[in-house]
Structure 1
């Protein structure tokens, strides 16, 4: 309901929100389509609309600005939702559902744990002192959300040798469920 209200507002206030010229009507006239019903109406979503094209472009530009300021990133982490986390299984068992049936619970729990992870990484400096961070959350094909996290470290904590990298990296194959 909230999203449809936001979209309705954007559709009704295009003249107030528009920042760029679109030549859709000119293209229609050029092709010879004079029937108004075939013209359609283009609605431009502003960058404040989460998930829209302008939103994605704005976030990309923000990340590239951080790269220009902080140089190359130092650490790339992937943080994947575990459908067996107690917070998830509790809600699913209560309703007699599988975790894949409750994507809102998966997303909410992942975001809570992601916020906590980033807070711990910054406060406890497990990987070093963090200068900047950027992350994005995506859904896997099997329905689980996961986050890609990029970290920039202060100069004193940068990984400068293969030994430093080997000390930091580990990989685990999870137990079969």
Structure 2
């Protein structure tokens, strides 16, 4: 029965609680599992030696060159994400494969989106 049509006002009586599985990316259980995995690396290898912050610049030429006339970067989140991901992949390669900061024993990274 529809809770609105019967005038139900108490949230506890409406519907059923839904638990998102850990396989739901970005859900509370997934985030908890990721945190536990990262802390396991800290427990095994010790505290991190390097902490980097990489930000996306919407004025990067790879983004600006692919915008159509009168289009802005905010109109193309797909393009901005694709360019950022490519640059992140390149940075990770420099750090892990080319070892520009020295040998890498473990690596963890987080991507945050902001408006």
Q: Output the TM-score relative to the length of structure 2.
A: 0.81
Greater gyration radius? 1
In 1, the alpha carbon distance for the partners of 2:69 and 2:13 equals 47
Question: Match of 2:74?
Answer: 100
Q: What RMSD over aligned residues (CA atoms) do the two structures have, in Å? A: 2.1
Match status 1:87 vs 2:45: no
The 3-state SS of whatever aligns with 2:44 is helix
The 3-state SS of whatever aligns with 1:117 is helix
Q: Which has the higher strand share?
A: 1
How many residues in Structure 1 have an aligned counterpart in Structure 2?
A: 106
Question: Match of 2:18?
Answer: 43
Moved over 3 A (4+): none
Question: Match of 1:115?
Answer: 89
Q: Which has the higher helix share?
A: 1
The 3-state SS of whatever aligns with 2:26 is coil
Q: Deviations over 1:53-80 (max 9, x none)?
A: 1111111011001111110100100011
Q: Output the TM-score relative to the length of structure 1.
A: 0.55
Question: Match of 1:161?
Answer: none
Q: Highest relative contact order (Cα 8 Å, sep 6+), 1 or 2?
A: 1
In 2, the alpha carbon distance for the partners of 1:69 and 1:95 equals 52
Q: Deviations over 1:41-64 (max 9, x none)?
A: 222111111111111111101100
Structure 2 stretches lacking a partner, 5+ long? 1-7
In 1, the alpha carbon distance for the partners of 2:66 and 2:16 equals 43
